[in-house]
Structure 1
Amino acid sequence: MFLLLLSIAASVTLLSGLIVTQTPADIIAAVGQSATLECSHQKTSYNQLLWYRQRGVGMQLIGYMYYENPTMEPDQDVKLEGSAKPGEKCKMTFPELRPNSSAVYYCVASDHGAVSNRTSEMVIGSLRVPTQSKFEASAKGGSDSRFQASVQSKLVAARIPAGRARGFCGSSAPLCSYDEAFFGAGTKLTVLDPNVKITPPTVKLLPPSDGECTNQKDKEAKKKTLVCAATDFYPDHVGVAWMVDSQKRDKGVATDSEALRRGLGYSITSRLRVPASEWLHGSTNFTCVLTFFDGTTYSDYAESISGKDDSAGGGFTRESFLRLTQSAKLSYAVLIAKSCVYAAFVAFLLWRFRVGCALEKKIKNEKCIKLCLVSGLKTCTGSLKI
């Protein structure tokens, strides 16, 4: 079994129209249950549908349908039925799900060609593009198309010499095509852990740090980062979207490529970078929407915060910091000046007190001398300082 590694640095261009339709987008089931995936395409010159399993970065061929003739790779626990003709449905069925059935599955429409010595070019659709949430649909006034891929991408994922790769399909049979192969949007299948309960997420939206971008002089370059954290959910069938004043925002968004398992649940984070001026506009509303599939329905969990109003100087920018330090310096100088005046005043009071005491003593001495002279006590003058 050949495992095809996808190139992360692949180039992307958009296709016009929907080529491959794959349903459903998500399946959550218990061990032992059955599951069915359906696929159809509209490429009139194509007559072959291939099914792939993706775990991590690898794509593994399961089997393919050529017209109404299915061919399976060895050791597969699924069956193919239906037709690969344009407009008709091809079904892949799991009669009995196992724990290792959990994966992302892709249906691929391709032409039926022969192996050649040319370099193969795999062209695939957007891998697991998050579906539009009900929150987004209501904000736009549109409908919620859970099981329809609105856009497909043309992604050159790998260029492998045909002699080594045996074509993009990774099979020894002479069926590999070197024309474009169009992938469906994918189906995420999770076989539930019997010991873990289905749990919706807890969403927390964190505002930007006050100290972020305060040392940047260029106002245009200043950015603020909002962080959305969803925790303690199971299983990991989630999608994250950002809304700014009820309008979907894609620019500046960075979301974890997949949810991380933490204990019995999963967690995922997403970040939105916006111009500082937009955050410091108090009336702007920022919303993080996490769409969670529980096996039956899709539910949106939203958390919103408003921007920080900087009209009263509330935003702690470089300019406000400079104003604050200048004000602190001025206040300190005034305090020093007041302290000096107060010290001078206290020194004056002490001087007045000492001078007053000396004057009072001198007056008492003079009165005592006069009294002695009048009374005729000449001997008293010896004990007085005249």
Structure 2
Amino acid sequence: MWRKENIMIVFSCVAFNILLVSVSSQSDQVHQDPPEIYSQPGTTATISCRHELQDYNRILWYRQPGGGGRMTLLGLMNVDQQQLEDGVTAKMSGGAMKGQTCLFTTEELQLGGTARYFCAAYCDSGREAYFGTGTKLTVLEPNRTAIPPTVRVLKPSPNEGGQTRTLVCVATDFYPDHVSVSWTVNGNKRLSGVATDAAATRLDDFYRITSRLTVYVKEWQNRGKDFACVVDFFNGTETVNRIDSIRGVKGRLLFERKYLRIAQNAKLAYCAFIVKSCVYGAFVVFLLWKLQKSRKTEK
């Protein structure tokens, strides 16, 4: 069994560097597969991890509860020797050197054992630990299978004011919660203005998640725009997608601008007519005055 002092040192190093993992230039050299797994109660699941980091000779394995929270160290592969934490009955095989694959097989899974598993490449020279992207493992409830979501895009509220409009995507009636949501506009992925729930919400026997896309009014009021919500769902074998879309509405803003221009032009024309009428009237009055004056002179 690995000495407790060494485990504490490793854990401290990892905890210190964990915030740097996601932005590290070398973290993409740690490859963890698969990204998602469904398992039945009473079975096990196997996850693989390998790295391309020179002189890194250890792979650590962690478990994070499904609802989030602190990661627990399960053990490590030291070169080609597994060293498990007390009470952990999982198994490891393979190797931890550059280019080698380390396999982690969970202990027998129980209902409620949903979690994320992470591997991390590490060495004993005090350098950073680099993490894999994680594996989301869900223990399915008895007699249940994966069901993809129903997706619907809702148009902006008619009461929404300002210069922007918000489209809402609602994905419902799926199980389990292995989904990700994205938006496209005319087929191009849109990242700005997107706000998605941090996690799906359980309602009775199924899950639900919402996402919002905020766009400018002039973009929404354009029938040439197609706004689509794409929900990727892992069905246990592959990732499938469910899509719903909505087109922009008739450009009321453009119509209003056109109407204002017409009204303004009409107003100017009317003012010009009034001015011309006044000038014409003044000219007529002047002629009448001249005529009257001429008659008085003749008398």
TM range, normalised to the smaller chain? 0.7 to 0.9
Q: Distance in 2 between matches of 1:191 and 1:314?
A: 55
Q: Is residue 2:91 matched to residue 1:86?
A: no
Q: Distance in 1 between matches of 2:189 and 2:253?
A: 29
Quote the residue 2:281 is aligned against. none
Quote the residue 2:226 is aligned against. 285
Verify the 8 A CA contact 2:27 2:131 in the aligned structure 1. Answer: no
Q: Is residue 2:66 matched to residue 1:58?
A: no
Q: Is residue 2:159 matched to residue 1:211?
A: yes
Quote the residue 1:330 is aligned against. none
Amino acid at match of 1:69: Q
Quote the residue 2:85 is aligned against. 73
Quote the residue 1:181 is aligned against. 129
- The Cα shift of 1:17 comes to 7.5
Verify the 8 A CA contact 1:201 1:292 in the aligned structure 2. Answer: yes
Q: Distance in 1 between matches of 2:216 and 2:253?
A: 19
- The Cα shift of 1:248 comes to 1.0
Q: Deviations over 1:301-353 (max 9, x none)?
A: 000111122157678xxx89xx8xx9xxxxxxxxxxxxxxxxxxxxxxxxxxx
Q: Is residue 2:30 matched to residue 1:20?
A: yes
DSSP 3-state at the match of 2:71: strand
Amino acid at match of 1:207: K
Length, aligned pairs only: 247
Quote the residue 1:374 is aligned against. none
Verify the 8 A CA contact 2:55 2:97 in the aligned structure 1. Answer: no
Farther-moved stretch of structure 1 (70-79 vs 94-103): 94-103
Identity of aligned residues (%): 40
Quote the residue 1:310 is aligned against. 251
Q: What does 1:218-297 correspond to in 2, within 5 Å? A: 222-297=163-238
DSSP 3-state at the match of 1:43: coil
- The Cα shift of 1:100 comes to 4.0
Higher Rg of the two aligned structures: 1
Amino acid at match of 1:183: F
- The Cα shift of 1:195 comes to 4.7
Farther-moved stretch of structure 1 (10-19 vs 63-72): 10-19
Q: Distance in 1 between matches of 2:255 and 2:152?
A: 23
DSSP 3-state at the match of 1:301: strand
Cα distance change, pair 17–106 in 1 and its aligned pair in 2 (3 A): closer
Give TM-score, length-normalised by structure 1.
0.58
Q: Deviations over 1:127-162 (max 9, x none)?
A: xxxxxxxxxxxxxxxxxxxxxxxxxxxxxxxxxxxx
DSSP 3-state at the match of 2:151: strand
Q: Distance in 1 between matches of 2:93 and 2:50?
A: 12
Q: Distance in 1 between matches of 2:147 and 2:185?
A: 28
Q: What does 1:141-156 correspond to in 2, within 5 Å? A: none
Quote the residue 1:36 is aligned against. 46
Q: Distance in 1 between matches of 2:155 and 2:123?
A: 51
5+ residue gaps in structure 1? 114-176, 215-221, 327-386
Q: Kindly report structure 1 stretches of 4+ aligned residues shifted beyond 4 Å.
A: 1-4, 311-315
Cα distance change, pair 277–313 in 1 and its aligned pair in 2 (3 A): closer
Amino acid at match of 1:194: P
Q: Distance in 1 between matches of 2:253 and 2:97?
A: 66
Q: Deviations over 1:224-280 (max 9, x none)?
A: 211111111101111111111111111121111111111111111111112222111
Q: Deviations over 1:150-176 (max 9, x none)?
A: xxxxxxxxxxxxxxxxxxxxxxxxxxx
Q: Is residue 2:139 matched to residue 1:191?
A: yes
Farther-moved stretch of structure 1 (306-315 vs 93-102): 306-315
Q: Distance in 2 between matches of 1:17 and 1:58?
A: 20
Q: Distance in 1 between matches of 2:78 and 2:176?
A: 35
Verify the 8 A CA contact 1:283 1:309 in the aligned structure 2. Answer: no
Amino acid at match of 1:18: D
Q: Distance in 1 between matches of 2:123 and 2:175?
A: 39
Verify the 8 A CA contact 1:196 1:264 in the aligned structure 2. Answer: no
Cα distance change, pair 312–50 in 1 and its aligned pair in 2 (3 A): closer
Amino acid at match of 1:103: A
Verify the 8 A CA contact 1:308 1:314 in the aligned structure 2. Answer: no
